[in-house]
Amino acid sequence: MEPLFQELAKLYSQMEEAYGKVATLLDFTCDGCPDNCCDSYFTHHTYLEWAYLWEGFRQLPEEKRILCLQRAAEYVKQSEEDLSKEQRPVIMCPLNDDGRCSLYAHRLLICRMHGVPTSFTLPNGEKKSFPGCFRCQDLTAGSEKLPTMDRTKFFREMVGLEHEFLGHKRHILPKVKMTIAEMLVKGEPEL
């Protein structure tokens, strides 16, 4: 495995731990949720995560890969139509099978943060806060001081890994802003 993939996996597991601590303090789980946030429209921003997603995707059985690629192509078509009408797409992620992620160990950073309240501090010192998903907001309504997962360290480390992964090419490659479906349809990133 590419050594940077191992570093990324380590970072993901630290994030999971931080998420788990906040979830435990809030007594929050996704069990019994009537929603599934895998139909939320998110774009992702690193070549390293894109490549790691493909590292996992290549290990799926061929039948599954074909199915996911078909769904991904439909996702891309539908999301482009929605966006052209200025509607935010609500389409299930092509990797989701009956509510479960087919690439759980390879899922991306954003997939690992949605749920509990989070915050991060921008390089200029400005602090941004996010209240968590609708269910977490219901759970915490009226609470004044909430346990919060600070994303700052994780974002910084992700940027560092991305720079290492791209080397000098980071100055010439176009910026990534892609859904998981687009990452699948486009194939592995070419550096």
Site residues, ligand SF4 (CB under 6 A): 30, 33, 35-38, 93, 95-96, 101, 103, 107, 111, 114-115, 133, 135-136, 180
Nearest residue (CB) to ligand SF4, 69 versus 170? 69
**Residue 126 Cβ vs ligand SF4, minimum distance, rounded to whole Å:** 26
100 bridge partner residues: 97
Q: Which helix (H) or strand (E) holds 71?
A: helix 62-84
Nearest residue (CB) to ligand SF4, 35 versus 164? 35
Give the number of other CB atoms < 10 A from CB of residue 78. Answer: 14
**Residue 109 Cβ vs ligand SF4, minimum distance, rounded to whole Å:** 10
**Quick check: helix, strand or coil at residue 164?**
helix
**Residue 31 Cβ vs ligand SF4, minimum distance, rounded to whole Å:** 8
Nearest residue (CB) to ligand SF4, 90 versus 122? 90
Nearest residue (CB) to ligand SF4, 11 versus 136? 136
Give the number of other CB atoms < 10 A from CB of residue 176. Answer: 17
**Residue 188 Cβ vs ligand SF4, minimum distance, rounded to whole Å:** 16
Q: Residue 141: exposed, middle, or buried by beta-carbon count in 10 A (0-12, 13-18, 19+)?
A: exposed
Residue carrying structure tokens 């946030």: 37
Amino acid at 171: H
**Quick check: helix, strand or coil at residue 118?**
strand
Nearest residue (CB) to ligand SF4, 136 versus 161? 136
**Residue 116 Cβ vs ligand SF4, minimum distance, rounded to whole Å:** 8
